[in-house]
């Protein structure tokens, strides 16, 4: 199989993990670890269809024997439509909270692929040096309105889950957060509120995404992207950070928290996804040196 063919297969295999068949345009923009023109991609796909390496149902491509996923994708898209409208409405309401630069929809709902049990996941971009005061206000606001997901919320709640906070100071994700899973999450995130075009700056700061998804077209930086931020950390921000850290410390497991970022994923979904797939040999997926040294074998960095 050609390198492009391998990348096509692995791209479909990755999306199959989420029960999500892809269109031609989606395969092209999300092609894992390989750059390809659209004509070359079409040629490779046609060859793979003839050899029955992959299958096609209508406008969607998937692994052989998984045609039922097409109906599921269409059904979920219909189910997600009102939730997408709700997410947009909630984002507009939350955007009035002091300190917010942007609000992104992430997770399965951003792909119109969520089930009844899934939350509405938001990524919050706050002003530099204002993350923890912003988070305090958001937590207070969403709790009072009964919007926030809590440990006691029913599974089918459709509640808000504010699980990722960044600022312009933390756009560049740390090395241990750079993976195929994270790259997909970022390119699939939908900006529901982004008046300063933070998306362009976010992608510019994370050029490693091109290592995993070289075909994905990065958003263009515009003059509105440049935003003059406060240069000092005020007393309330320091206090908010220390108090929230003190409150969270007994509960922290694998969460990653700094003064300018907060990743609230106690069970790293990227690790779980990549462990569930046999992805060795995918172009663009780096082996983890630490894991190789620890186990004496090659595996993916997640």
User: Each residue of 100-148: pLDDT tens digit?
Assistant: 999 999 999 999 999 988 899 999 999 999 999 999 999 999 999 888 8
Q: Which residues are CB-neighbours of 115 under 8 A, at least 6 positions away?
A: 76, 79, 108
- Flag whether 194 is in a domain: yes
User: Each residue of 143-184: pLDDT tens digit?
Assistant: 998 888 776 666 556 789 998 999 999 999 999 899 999 999
* Intra-chain end-to-end CA distance of the chain, in Å: 26
Last residue of a domain, one of 43, 66, 89: 66
User: Each residue of 252-279: pLDDT tens digit?
Assistant: 767 788 999 999 765 556 566 666 665 5
Q: What is the pLDDT of residue 294?
A: 31
Nearest CA among 245, 243, 180 for reference residue 216 = 180
| Claim to verify: residue 199 and residue 146 sit in the same structural domain | yes
- Flag whether 183 is in a domain: yes
Q: What is the pLDDT of residue 234?
A: 84
| Claim to verify: residue 130 and residue 10 sit in the same structural domain | no
| Claim to verify: residue 152 and residue 50 sit in the same structural domain | no
The domain of 16 spans 1-66
| Claim to verify: residue 30 and residue 133 sit in the same structural domain | no
- Flag whether 58 is in a domain: yes
- Flag whether 295 is in a domain: no
Nearest-5° angle of CA 193, CA 218, CA 171?
A: 60
> Domain with 206 in it: what CATH number?
3.30.460.10
| Claim to verify: residue 8 and residue 89 sit in the same structural domain | no
User: Each residue of 180-202: pLDDT tens digit?
Assistant: 999 999 999 999 999 999 999 99
| Claim to verify: residue 120 and residue 219 sit in the same structural domain | yes
- Flag whether 277 is in a domain: no
| Claim to verify: residue 98 and residue 217 sit in the same structural domain | yes
**What is this structure's pTM?**
0.85
Beta strands in the chain (DSSP E): 55-57, 60-62, 100-106, 120-126, 160-166, 190-193, 256-258, 261-263
| Claim to verify: residue 167 and residue 224 sit in the same structural domain | yes
The total number of structural domains in the chain stands at 2
Q: What is the pLDDT of residue 255?
A: 77
- Flag whether 274 is in a domain: no
> Domain with 23 in it: what CATH number?
1.10.10.10
Cα 5 from chain centroid (whole Å):
25
Beta strands in 131-266 (DSSP E): 160-166, 190-193, 256-258, 261-263
- Flag whether 47 is in a domain: yes
| Claim to verify: residue 52 and residue 194 sit in the same structural domain | no
pLDDT at 293 over 50: no
| Claim to verify: residue 62 and residue 211 sit in the same structural domain | no
| Claim to verify: residue 117 and residue 179 sit in the same structural domain | yes
- Flag whether 276 is in a domain: no
């Amino acid at each position: 199989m050609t390198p492009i063919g391998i990348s096509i297969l692995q791209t479909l295999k990755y999306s199959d993990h989420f029960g999500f068949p892809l269109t031609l345009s989606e395969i092209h923009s999300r092609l894992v670890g390989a750059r390809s023109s659209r004509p070359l991609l079409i040629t490779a796909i046609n060859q793979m269809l003839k050899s029955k390496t992959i299958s096609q149902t209508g406008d969607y491509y998937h692994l052989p024997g998984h045609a039922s996923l097409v109906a599921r994708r269409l059904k979920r898209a219909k189910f997600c439509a009102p939730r997408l409208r709700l997410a947009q409405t909630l984002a507009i309401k939350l955007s009035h909270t002091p300190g917010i630069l942007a609000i992104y929809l992430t997770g399965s709902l951003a792909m119109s692929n969520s089930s009844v049990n899934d939350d509405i996941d938001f990524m919050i971009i706050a002003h530099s040096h204002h993350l923890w005061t912003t988070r305090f206000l958001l937590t207070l606001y969403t709790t009072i309105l009964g919007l926030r997901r809590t440990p006691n919320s029913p599974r089918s709640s459709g509640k808000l889950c504010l699980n990722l906070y960044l600022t312009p100071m933390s756009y560049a994700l740390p090395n241990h957060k750079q993976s195929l899973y994270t790259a997909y999450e970022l390119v699939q995130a939908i900006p529901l509120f982004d008046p300063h075009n933070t998306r362009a700056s976010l992608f510019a700061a994370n050029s490693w995404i091109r290592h995993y998804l070289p075909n994905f077209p990065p958003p263009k930086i515009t003059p509105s992207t440049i935003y003059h931020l406060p240069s000092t950390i005020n007393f309330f921000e320091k206090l908010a950070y220390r108090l929230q850290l003190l409150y969270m410390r007994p509960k922290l497991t694998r969460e990653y928290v700094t003064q300018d970022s907060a990743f609230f994923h106690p069970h790293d979904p990227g690790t779980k996804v990549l462990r569930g797939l046999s992805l060795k040999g995918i172009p663009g997926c780096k082996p983890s040196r630490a894991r190789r040294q620890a186990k004496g074998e090659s595996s993916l960095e997640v």
